Amino acid sequence: MEEYGLELTNNSKASWAFSLPRSATCVGATELCRSVCYGNGVRYQTAGQKAKRQRNLRTVELLLSRGGPELLAQNLLSLIDQARPADWLAASVTGKPTLTPWSIRLHDVGDFHKISYVNAWWIAAQQRSQCSFWFYTRSFANNDLFDAMTELASLANCRGWLSIDSDNFESGLLAYARRPDVWKLALLQEAEETLSEDLLPALDKYTSAKQVVSFPVHRGRYHAPPIKHRNLFTCPAVLGAYKLEPDARKRRPCQACAFCLPAASTTTSVEVQS
């Protein structure tokens, strides 16, 4: 009998995250991102992790088929509430900030694969405005899917990053040019000698200083030499400035840096939400 249920991943870099299977959802994956994806790591290749991602997708599809984005959103809300910091209720009484932000990364593995799924997250994120959401996506070639993701990324508590590399930067920049007021750019940075010679000049046309977050291709503590370019902000966690944090009661590297998170992630007080 197939099992159903939605489950978060407790990520030592990003904190809470939601995962889906790459094979079924990474509709815009390039050869490079497939080869260096987090999902290739030992942790993500365990039977338990694979089963969780499959169960998440199976449940997503079931809920969408039975009740559309609204039904899926109801279930996502329960999931989001599980990610509240342990001191949430105490902070709601005292008015003090929580020790760690209430945040969820959408898809530390996987991506947006259909419009109804995006719409469900839009509904849920609207109803949990004090939780910060962020995501990187390569699902921007389909115009209708891109428009739906733009609505999600437009929310004050959400930030969306178009993930580009030498294989897809032209289509990524075209998508970015449609809504530069909403989207940010993330570069999967190869070694400089293998990077497309047209990529950095193209970034110069669309972006300004430190606007593009750069992730040098890495495995563990070994990474490609970071490219120094005025428009690139190299992820400090990749460079080792922030260490992976196994304790969920402490800020994880992405939360401590907060460059990729929406401004709402710096909330100073909380209120109880039903």
Residue-wise pLDDT for 92-138, tens only, equals 899 899 999 999 999 999 999 999 999 999 999 999 999 999 999 99
Residue 264: predicted pLDDT: 59
Chain-centroid distance of CA 232 in Å reads: 19
Instruction: For residue 166, count other CB atoms closer than 10 A to its CB.
Output: 19
pLDDT at 268: 35
Residues in the chain with pLDDT values less than 70 = 42, 264-274
pLDDT of residue 221: 73
pLDDT at 59: 98
In this prediction, residue 32 carries a pLDDT of 92
Q: Are 73 and 123 in contact (CB under 8 A)?
A: yes
CB atoms within 10 A of CB 53: 24
pTM metric for this prediction = 0.93
Q: In the chain, count H helices and then E strands.
A: 9, 10
Tokens of 96: 């003090």
Report the chain's C-alpha Rg in angstroms: 18
Query: Which of 238, 199, 184, 196 is CA-nearest to residue 215?
Result: 238
DSSP-assigned letters across all residues of 241-274? SS-----TTS--HHHHH-SSS-GGGG--------
